[in-house]
Structure 1
Amino acid sequence: MIKFVLPVLCCLSFPLLAASLDWQRKTDLLLPVQEIYPAVFQGEIYVAGGLSSELPKQQGQMTAKVQIYNPTTDQWRFGPSLPEGRHHGQLVAAGGQLYLFGGFVSANGGHWSASADVLRLDLQQQVWLKVATLPAPLSETVSWVWEDKVHLVSGRSPAAAANAQWQDQADVAIHWVFDLKSFTTAVAAALPEVKNSAAGLQLHGVGYLFGGRQVQGGNTDQVHSFDAKSQQWALQKTMPMAQAGLAAAALDQQIWLFGGEFFQQGGGVFSKVWSYSPADNSWQQQGEMPVPRHGLGAVTLDDAIYVIGGATVAGLKQTSAVLEKVTSLNPG
């Protein structure tokens, strides 16, 4: 049996800024989804696929629907659906295009078959087209964009020939760089540890990877950074708590972390919001989420962070349609 451990921080303390964030409830998603990786594209927020406790189990509780949010009208609409239901797919806006990398689909007799697809939204035809194939199937990964290249780091990939169930996959330390011009994938310096369900982004030419989960070890509090110029990984100050299934977004020169889940003693979700300052490698608690959840998404748009979907209990239960707009009361 795999045991996931929630760390006890009885002897540690972190600065608390109780009123540092303003939370505004916005219009709910049209369909509640979790295990999503949203992206900002052409001034709107895109959510592609996902899992939902509201969908039939015989269909894998996944959706092919693409939901688009307009911040000006505070309204959602459906966009061009994916070719098939898909969850844990990495949505990336880059080079004026919108891409989706990997994720899980229904294939080989199961609903957790990792995909190697690279899809792109054809704006003229309003349809998703397969434009490339990754070196191997990949899901639950993290991405960032640097100089017309998409970095894909960590996640899960089939351990052997079987590729139908979640347990057919193994945690990986993959670091691939997908070239948006040639549609080819190069291998870069591997992450120093295997993990899945982390959160990450790029800020000022440095990629950051926060937390995640190791099947053999549970949630991790490690923070890895990758310098695009030196092509080297480095360890930064560990997270205040070991979290997985969380979301990250940048605002005011800081990186903000939201949510996540743990499985100890029946499981639960994290409520505390943390900010990380790359400038001085420090952490602060920034209050708590009004609706704690995991498997959520977070994106930065117009000097605000939008916190999207997820689930209010650990696992595939109580999927949420909540959308919140978060702004800083102490801008840097």
Structure 2
Amino acid sequence: MKSICLFICVLSFQLMAGSLNWQRKADLLMPVQEIYPAVFQGEIYVAGGLSSELPKQQGQMTAQVQIYNPKTNTWRYGPALPEGRHHGQLVAVNDQLFLFGGFIQANGGNWSASADVLQLDLDQQRWLKVASLPAPLSETVSWVLDHKVHLISGRSPATKANAQWHDQADVATHWIFDPKLLKTEVAPALPEAKNSAAAVVFNEAGYLVGGRQVKGGNKAGVHSFNPKNQQWAAQKAMPEAQAGLAAAVLNQQLWVFGGEFFQQGGGVFHKVWSYSAADNNWQQQGEMPVPRHGLGAVALDDAIYVIGGATAAGLKQTSAVLERVIIK
């Protein structure tokens, strides 16, 4: 009976996916949300994050770094961050791994935006502070172009206060970090200030997808940045306004997963969308078997890995789910 049940469960899991083949993989060691995973040396790294499963006295955040090996389908803990941190931007570039900004416990609050640039020292097996951003920045997203890290959008302190979430304001920030010089320069600002977007490199340009404005709600807008002429351009908007989503590029298509909304009691987006530049069109590609927001997505070994997040809007029902998505 157990084998029959397992077969039916797996079959129903795959039928929900539409044109995608969803494979459930080993759960995270710790459920986390508001994460920005990175592929580093053939493995998936998840640094810090929030979790409804963690104590409120520690801000429900973690300093743990979780590493997934796709060959063995196993997770392990790596060198922990110096302190608990969430909404920090993890980026692999030039065989180096950096973490930019995010929120930490400081100034009497759990949402103090940080200007730290941390780097994983592989020899010492610990994280070192190697630079500071021009200002504290959190809920930002990134892409790597020409071996440099672009940090785009997010939230920064609106006043001298920097302790709680409401102390921050949406920004149109666009900075370029040079991993060799460990310096940051200002680049053309994005067309609108927002946070909780997703970012990918697509067709040799940087794409910024969705996001939200605190006073304006979720956004469906998509903008691309051309590194050659240093200009932004509006692209075809998503069919739905989404924030807290994740994106990845595979098979010459841009894929979007999850996100949250707060109208009518709030909820989590189920639909999976793909965008093709060839016909400038968005198309629904089934639904997520486990819809989530505050999740991560990375492309690795001809598949997309969808990681963590939460199954309800806000800091509730944090998930440890890891799925491998194969394009049929």
TM range (shorter): over 0.9
Consecutive aligned runs of 4 or more in structure 1 exceeding 4 Å deviation: none
Q: Give matches, 1:209-228, under 5 Å.
A: 209-228=208-227
Q: Spell out, residue by residue over 1:219-249, the C-alpha distance to the aligned partner (whole angstroms, 9 max, x if none).
A: 0100001011111000011100000000000
Report what 2:232 is aligned to: 233
Offset at 1:148?
1.6
Aligned positions, number:
313
Report what 1:137 is aligned to: 136
- For residues 160 and 225 of structure 1, what CA distance do their matches in structure 2 show? 30
From the two aligned structures, give the one with the greater helix fraction: 2
* TM-score under structure 2 length normalisation: 0.94
Counterpart contact for 2:17–2:288, Cα < 8 Å:
no
Q: Give secondary structure in 2 for the equivalent of 1:167.
A: helix
Q: Spell out, residue by residue over 1:146-202, the C-alpha distance to the aligned partner (whole angstroms, 9 max, x if none).
A: 112100000000001000000000000000000111111111110010000000111
Report what 1:290 is aligned to: 289
Counterpart contact for 1:148–1:181, Cα < 8 Å:
no
Q: Give matches, 1:1-332, under 5 Å.
A: 19-329=18-328
Offset at 1:290?
0.1
Q: Give secondary structure in 1 for the equivalent of 2:57.
A: helix
* TM-score under structure 1 length normalisation: 0.93
Larger RCO, structure (CA 8 Å, separation 6 or more): 1
Counterpart contact for 1:38–1:47, Cα < 8 Å:
yes
| Amino acid across the alignment from 2:24 | R
Q: Spell out, residue by residue over 1:43-101, the C-alpha distance to the aligned partner (whole angstroms, 9 max, x if none).
A: 00000000000000111000000000000000000000000000000000001010000
Offset at 1:19?
3.0
- For residues 148 and 18 of structure 1, what CA distance do their matches in structure 2 show? 35
Offset at 1:205?
2.1
Q: Give secondary structure in 1 for the equivalent of 2:159.
A: coil
Q: 1:77 to 1:204 in 2, by over 3 A?
A: same
Offset at 1:307?
0.2
Counterpart contact for 1:152–1:177, Cα < 8 Å:
yes
**Structure 2: tracts of 5 or more residues without a match:** 1-15
Q: Spell out, residue by residue over 1:270-313, the C-alpha distance to the aligned partner (whole angstroms, 9 max, x if none).
A: 00000011233210100000000000000000000000000000
